[in-house]
Amino acid sequence: MKALIVGAAGFVGGHLIEELSVRCGWEVAATKLRGERVSRACCGAFDVDILDEDAVRGVMERVKPDIVYHLVAQSSVALSWEKPALTVEVNIKGSVNVLEAARKSGVGVRVVLIGSGEEYGNVREEDCPIKETLEAKPQSVYAVTKSAQNQLGRLYAASYGMDIVMTRSFNHIGVGQPARFVAADLCEQAAEIAAGKREGAINVGNMDVRRDFTDVRDVVRSYRLLGEKGKSGETYNVGSGRAVAIREIADAVIKASGKEMGVKVDEKRLRPVDAPVICADIGKIQRETGWKAEIPLERTLQEIYEWFLRKAMSEG
Ligand code: A2R
């Protein structure tokens, strides 16, 4: 199997290369932005700005993949409010460029579009666990762009008979994730306190909200399985199917540190609207691919914490 990962230099890209190339022996080519680096497990790396239609088409013609994983995104919800036009451009126009390149290649390449659990919006408690059939009501610029990508994927599959599989991926966590995400943020703060780089407690936002967390290695395994077994034109939730309170994440991180640490609610971290619980129904992906998340949350948090601790110690 030959895969092209578009946007392979980000958090998920490195783990997906590992899964496809190292664990499963696929031939993997990758695109990145100029100046970014990708794993050496790739058989080829190409500098491609997703907004350059010709470049996207060129790499598709050169690599001739069986399957394309489209990971490129402006992936920050917060930045999507500050830079809505950029987010719309990269996430929607970029996806169109990938779909058009696949369409024009004329060889029936499979395209996997990575969407987000954010597409559902601030769901009501009674709608959890969320099924793929729930109406998407996106509540951020980022979520609107991912929902648009999903609709474009369905449109291209139905109108052109293209082979397109879509995900709605819930919170995924692991080593290498930037600290703007909650698990990485709590681990980084705990590591800095443990390393003596700062004093005080771990600052948190709303501790009671419950979210669905999955180790990124499980997530990329689901992407491989969806590439192999997903049905064209269909959307699949990717999550653990379990809602965990931020309070439990903080407790597990403190336990991982082996130290006494407090937590303090920081008003600035509270969001104006926060759904009390967001949790995926994963019946569809389980039935159709056999996938389910396997790595325990505590293990993932321990690894992320230790990664930040090594970083804090090495920075002195
Ligand atoms: O923003 P950067 O410099 O970190 O680069 C990101 C890259 N990217 C682009 N690549 C080509 N042309 C562009 N115009 C462009 N703008 C951004 O896409 C980064 O290297 C990559 C996306 O990686 P991350 O932001 O680390 O996202 P992650 O966590 O790997 O998520 C993969 C997918 C995304 O579609 C998310 O929205 C979804 O999974 O959750």
The predicted-structure confidence for 19-55, as pLDDT tens digits, reads as follows 999 999 999 999 999 999 998 888 899 999 999 999 9
Q: Ligand 1 centre from 193 Cα, in Å?
A: 30
Omega of the bond prior to 84 within 30 degrees of 0, cis?
no
The predicted-structure confidence for 68-91, as pLDDT tens digits, reads as follows 999 999 999 989 999 999 999 999
Residue ranges for the chain with pLDDT beneath 50: none
Query: 12, 180, 212, 214: which to mutate for ligand 1, most atoms within 8 A of CB?
Result: 12
Where do the domains of the chain lie, and which CATH numbers do they carry?
A: 2-172+214-238 (3.40.50.720), 177-211+242-278+296-314 (3.90.25.10)
Q: Please, what is the average pLDDT of the chain?
A: 95
Output the DSSP codes for 142-205: HHHHHHHHHHHHHHHHHHH--EEEEEEE--EE-TT--TTSHHHHHHHHHHHHHTTS--S-EEES
What confidence score (pLDDT) does residue 316 get?
67
In 3-state terms the chain splits into helix, strand, coil percentages (rounded to 5) of 45, 15, 35
DSSP-assigned beta bridge partners for residue 235: 166
Q: Which residues line ligand 1 (CB under 6 A)?
A: 7, 9-13, 33, 36, 49-51, 71-75, 90, 114, 116, 169
Q: Ligand 1 centre from 74 Cα, in Å?
A: 6
What DSSP character marks residue 231? P
| H or E element at residue 210 | strand 210-211
**Is the Cβ–Cβ distance between 132 and 185 less than 8 Å?**
no
What confidence score (pLDDT) does residue 267 get?
86
Give the separation between CA 284 and CA 235, rounded to whole angstroms.
9
Alpha carbon separation from 298 to 38, 75, 232, 303, 315 (Å, rounded):
28, 25, 35, 9, 26
Give the separation between CA 242 and CA 214, rounded to whole angstroms.
9
- Residue 116 CA, closest ligand 1 atom number: 40
Nearest to residue 20, comparing CAs of 179, 246, 178, 224? Answer: 224
pTM exceeds 0.75 for this model? yes
